[in-house]
């Protein structure tokens, strides 16, 4: 590929054995990066281990003339995440890009969700993103450069049923990313989020309980992971984009809003319970958000 925008860069891509992570690893390698391909090789719910997916991606990158090495550890383990960063330094002599893509799903309606369901998803998505990012932070600070790309989700930004664990983790990731962008911007470090629409093993686990959901899932099948990889690779190459949240949906790219005040009220004598109930809440009600899910907000077919 002529435009090697990541020439000389080293990337750590987590969850890179399949789906979105795989395509990100392949595209970054095609654009010149040396890649640590991390993947535990677990099932979609986080169970099991298999070195095959990570090794397959490494071989694919090498066959195309690129450089890559496999890492088979879990991002949920802080020491293992440190090992991933050290592997990049030892194998390729540096680290410039961290893509926090590793994930799992344990979807269940909230009043039936177990502590294990919650902890396992938070541990991989949110704690995992912290683990890799924190271990890379000292290197990025010292070299006064670095890029983080984190995968959030419209499930967190908007909402979906039966995903309290996943939604909590993905909203947490947006806060983590913004904090990194604020704290490390002075050192030339950038941090952004992508909320991907793409067919993957995790999407396959979405319960289908209605014809409408079945139709939505069928549309998701048409949205391939390479569309996400394109934006992730562009963020790795961008020089002045940080603290943002993007949604990628087939050929559409959206810049997502971040929480800001939309309506305010003041009462000189102060508020009491009655005045809040009788005045504040009714006045603000026209601006209340409906209990939307992602499909309500992105209601049109992917373009």
- State the burial class of residue 131 (Cβ atoms within 10 Å of its Cβ: 0-12, 13-18, 19+): buried
Would you call 229 helix, strand, or coil by DSSP?
helix
Cβ-Cβ contacts under 8 Å for 128 (sequence gap 6 or more): 14, 74, 75, 76, 81, 100, 102
Helix (H) or strand (E) holding 252: strand 252-255
> Which two three-digit tokens encode residue 55?
């090794």
Q: With CA atoms as reference, report the closest residue to 6 among 94, 119, 117.
A: 94
Catalytic pick among 118, 130, 148, 166: 166
Strands 10-13 and 97-100: parallel
Q: Is 289 a catalytic residue?
A: no
Catalytic residues: 166
């Amino acid at each position: 590929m002529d435009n090697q925008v990541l020439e000389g860069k080293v990337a750590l891509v987590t969850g890179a054995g399949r789906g979105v992570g795989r395509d990100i690893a392949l595209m970054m390698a095609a654009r010149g990066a040396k890649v640590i391909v991390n993947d535990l090789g677990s099932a979609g719910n986080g169970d099991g281990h298999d070195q095959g997916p990570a090794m397959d991606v490494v071989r694919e990158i090498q066959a195309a003339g690129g450089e890559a090495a496999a890492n088979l550890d879990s991002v949920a383990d802080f020491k293992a995440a440190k090992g991933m960063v050290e592997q990049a330094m030892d194998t390729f002599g540096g680290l410039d890009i961290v893509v926090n893509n590793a994930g799992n799903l344990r979807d269940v309606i909230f009043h039936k969700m177990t502590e294990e369901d919650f902890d396992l998803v938070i541990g991989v998505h949110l704690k995992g993103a912290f683990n890799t990012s924190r271990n890379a932070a000292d290197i990025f600070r010292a070299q006064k450069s670095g890029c983080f790309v984190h995968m959030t989700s419209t499930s967190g930004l908007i909402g979906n049923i039966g995903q309290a664990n996943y939604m909590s983790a993905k909203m947490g990731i947006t806060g983590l990313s913004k904090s990194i962008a604020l704290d490390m911007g002075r050192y030339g470090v950038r941090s952004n989020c992508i909320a991907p629409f793409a067919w993957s093993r995790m999407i396959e686990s979405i319960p289908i309980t209605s014809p409408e959901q079945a139709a939505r899932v069928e549309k998701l099948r048409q949205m391939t992971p390479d569309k996400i990889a394109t934006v992730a690779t562009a963020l790795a190459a961008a020089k002045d984009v940080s603290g943002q949240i993007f949604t990628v949906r087939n050929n559409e790219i959206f810049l997502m809003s971040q929480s800001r005040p939309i309506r305010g009220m003041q009462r000189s004598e102060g508020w009491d319970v009655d005045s809040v109930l009788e005045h504040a809440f009714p006045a603000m009600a026209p601006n209340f958000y409906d209990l939307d899910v992602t499909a309500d907000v992105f209601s049109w077919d992917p373009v």
